Amino acid sequence: MTDQVISTNGPSPRPGDRIGFIRNGGRFLHLLVRGALLQIVTFGFYRFWLTTDLRRHLWSRTTLNGENFEYTGRGRELLVGFLIALAILVPIYLAVFLIGIWLENLRAFSSLLLILFMFLFGQFALYRARRYRLSRTIWRGVRFWMTGSGWAYALRAFGWQILVVLSLGLVYPWYARWRESFKMRNTYYGDAPGAFEGRGGQFFKRGFGLWLLTVGGLLALGAVAASFDWIRLEGKEVPRAASIALGAAVSLWLLASAIAYPYFRAIEWRWWAQGVRLGNVSLHSTLRGGQLLKLYLRIIGWVLLLLIGWIVIGAILALIVHLGLGDLKLLLSETSARMKSPGIFHIAVLVVAVILYLLILMSFGVVQRFFTMHELWRIIVESLTVENVASLEGVIQRGDATSALGEGLADSLDVGGF
């Protein structure tokens, strides 16, 4: 595929303040397929090197003012971080398991304590993982870096998220404002400090309509369902018209919520970009919900095509086995008799089934990663305009590379971002 530089179409950007992306989806797809196959033969351990290769691909093809970004992380660092994380987490899991066995009365309490600890640990891991990724990101020979306490972030994030749940999501804009402010005021590019100037009230106004559609709609459905006298109707049929109407309303709500999600993410991204500051540099994004919705529909379409394809392949294999089963069984029986291994036929079937299962998982994983990494990255980069890049000309190198422990924790808890 021919490499092509895509620049943003933001409102009146200065010629030097352009951010672009060099498209090469074929190369990215090659990395995904090769990495998926190597993960199978290495029992999953190659994923650390695959993650590194994918990041290096995306970083190096993202350009600002004609200069490419660099990713200097290594797969070995991620593996070491993951092993250290396991050394921390396994004793914790084991202790909770033993407490549940020895003290049955405390089993529920220990499980609740584990969930709380894992949540806090997950937030800590997310913060430290971001710190690692920034410290491995270089532009014009100068490193991004980050300070701040991961535990302070985790504890405050926990308190904020309790408020978000209790408010049915209404407090989320102010939580997002605190979260981004905490991260950005601890973010640096060389000696240029970061900041976040977005306001929770702005985010609230932009997203309130979607909140009414989703959470408000759910509350309305709950109120309608609660209006039925279920005790009096027990043992009787609910009126057919009421059942159809309620089912249709629930279906419409689910569809509306699914469509609203990409629009909400686009609103949040534009709000975030508008609030980010790095020294005197600011961002502007033109990302639209329709772009994300189209991306999600492409994912669904490819997943359905893969599903149909694997069903057809499975049907063909089943037909081949059915038509030639007698000869196949006879051949394998004779072979097993010579090898004095009576179960060779069943072992062969099991091996083929496992290989097919792994290939199916691999194919869906490749599609998911291609669209949620490469295509999402491309859409976001193409939406950005950067102002005052020239103000970074005199930036001095500061900060050091940090450990990959946060990445390892995030990976082991399955909370890591890309």
Mean pLDDT, consecutive 10-residue stretches, the chain (418 aa), reads 41 58 94 95 93 96 93 92 86 79 70 83 90 93 93 95 96 98 96 96 96 92 73 57 80 95 97 96 95 97 96 85 60 55 65 88 95 96 93 82 62 56
Q: What pLDDT, on the 0 to 100 scale, is given for residue 10?
A: 41
**Quick one: residue 169, left, alpha or beta (phi over 0 = left, psi -120 to 50 = alpha)?**
left
Strand order in the sheet with 384-387: 4-7, 19-23, 62-64, 67-71, 137-139, 142-146, 187-189, 192-196, 276-278, 281-285, 384-387
Handedness of CA 362, 366, 372, 373 (dihedral sign): positive
**pLDDT given for residue 378 in this prediction:** 96
The letter for the amino acid at 192 is A
Q: Which two tokens stand for residue 38?
A: 């190597």
pLDDT at 3: 44
* CA 321 and chain centroid, separation: 40
Whether residue 198 contacts residue 271, with contact meaning beta carbons closer than 8 Å, is answered with yes
| pLDDT score at 395 | 87
Distance CA 301, CA 307 (A): 10
Please report the pLDDT score of residue 338 as a whole number: 55
Backbone dihedral angles phi then psi of residue 83, each to the nearest 5 degrees: -65, -40
Residue 401, phi then psi, degrees to nearest 5: -70, 135
- Report the alpha-carbon distance of residue 129 to residue 123 in Å, rounded: 10
Residue 9: what pLDDT?
43
3-state secondary structure at position 364: helix
Task: Give Cβ neighbours of residue 207 (< 8 Å, ≥ 6 apart).
Answer: 173, 264, 267, 268
Per-residue burial over 105-122, b = 16 or more CB atoms within 10 Å of its CB, e = otherwise: eeeeebeeebeeebbbbb
pTM of the model: 0.85
Output the pLDDT for position 22: 92
